[in-house]
Chains A and B, each alone.
Chain A
Amino acid sequence: MLFNCQKYSTGASRGEFEEASGWTRFINRVHLAVCRHCALFTRQMRMLGDAVRRLAGVSVDEAKLAPFKERLVARLTEDDPRR
């Protein structure tokens, strides 16, 4: 695994290192210190998350959210003969 870039980048993309052991994390750190391509790949993986969070952060218009919630509650609680 130490210099196997394909295994490293596959594992990183599959999220296999999220709960990795201390030894695995150490091996990965050594790998990233010596392999600039995997280091760039790792940074780009982080960028994907940052960019999509940024996109999601501006997706909901707070000014429209409150009236939407009010309409929703009204619709869900309108007179129901079953109640």
Chain B
Amino acid sequence: MTGPLTKSELRELKRRNREAVANVVEAHAGDLLRASFGMGLKEVDAEELVSETFATFLDVLDRFEGRSSVRTFLFGILYRKALERGRKRSRELATDPIDQVFESRFNVFGRWSKPPQGPEEEVLSQETARLIGECLDGLTPSQRAAFHLKEVEHESSASICNILGVSDTNLRVILFRSRIKLRECLEKKWRERN
């Protein structure tokens, strides 16, 4: 049950038919839980958020109308709830200090004046994964959500814009800031270790 719902599936879900509900939970609960952890939630809070997401999904099925995929619709509900929880604005601010940090690395000719540092080899270790977990906490909720949807869930840019309710231009800014912040954070932690 990953694409649009059939009329029959929609009808059964509205009736809260156990088999229909079990099918949609089976198809999507794991991904939603992973996305909740990706937002930095602990297990109890993540499970509660996913539970609320499915409950809301069943309550607003009339609004679904099969326009988007079930997955996109569920992710949209999840991230709206996650951002409401933190009482943080989902809209990206016009400026972010990381923009200046990034610019300061280049001279007027666009060449690196402060080149990137860090491991030359792609050392994919538990240590790097742990460090990035710490660095993710430095992202705004919308930056964290966009980065997770892009890199972990492999959602298209159009789908992410739909889920987060942002324009394509805004999404590019959000992804830029998330990647630069993470890279800067990791470089700092690598330097501190070595």
Contacts and interface: CB of A to CB of B under 8 A. Distances in A.
Chain B, interface size: which category? 35 or more
Given A16-B172, A47-B124, A5 B112 contact: yes
Contacts of A7: 110
Contact of B16 (A10, A16, A60, A76): A76
A14 B15 CA distance: 44
A47 B173 CA distance: 20
Contacts of B133: 55
Interface in A43-83: 43-56, 58-60, 64-65, 68-69, 72-73, 75-77, 80, 83
B46 to A, nearest CB: 9
B50 A6 contact: no
B120 interface: yes
Contacts of A41: 116, 183
A43 B187 CA distance: 13
A51 B124 contact: yes
B58 to A, nearest CB: 6
B122 A46 contact: yes
Given A72-B54, A73-B25, A77-B21, A47 B122 contact: yes
Contacts, number: 134
B129 A51 contact: yes
A46 B51 CA distance: 33
Contact of A15 (B34, B115, B150): B150
Given A52-B152, A76-B58, A77-B18, A15 B175 contact: yes
Contact of B179 (A38, A48, A60, A76): A48
Interface of B: 15-18, 21-22, 25-26, 29-30, 33-34, 37-38, 43, 47, 50-51, 54-55, 58, 102-103, 105-106, 109-112, 115-116, 118, 120, 122, 124, 128-133, 136, 147-148, 150-152, 157, 172-173, 175-176, 179-180, 182-183, 186-187
20 contacts: A6-B105, A10-B176, A15-B150, A48-B132, A48-B179, A50-B122, A51-B131, A52-B129, A52-B147, A53-B152, A54-B124, A54-B128, A55-B132, A55-B133, A60-B33, A69-B29, A76-B16, A76-B58, A77-B21, A83-B16
Given A10-B176, A51-B128, A52-B151, 5 more contacts: A3-B110, A15-B157, A72-B50, A72-B51, A76-B55
Sorted from nearest, which 7 A-B pairs have the closest CB atoms? A4-B110, A37-B115, A59-B37, A6-B110, A6-B106, A14-B172, A49-B151
